[in-house]
Structure 1
Amino acid sequence: MINYNLRQLRECRPWNSRASNRRTREMKPTQNMVLKAYSKQILNEIRVVKALQAFGIAVLHEKLSKIEECLAQLPERLKEAGSRISELDDKVVTMQKEAIQFQKKRCLLGNKID
Structure 2
Amino acid sequence: MRQLVTLNAVKRIIHADLAGTYSLETLARAVGIHEQKLMKLFRRHEQSTVFAYIRQARMQYARTLLEQGSTPVENIAALVGFSSAANFATAFKAHTGLTPRQYRRQHQETTQSEHAPTG
TM-score band by shorter chain is under 0.3
> TM-score by structure 1 length?
0.22
> TM-score by structure 2 length?
0.22
Which is greater in Rg?
1
Between 1 and 2, higher relative CO (CA 8 Å, sep ≥ 6) is seen in 2
Which protein is richer in helix relative to its size?
1
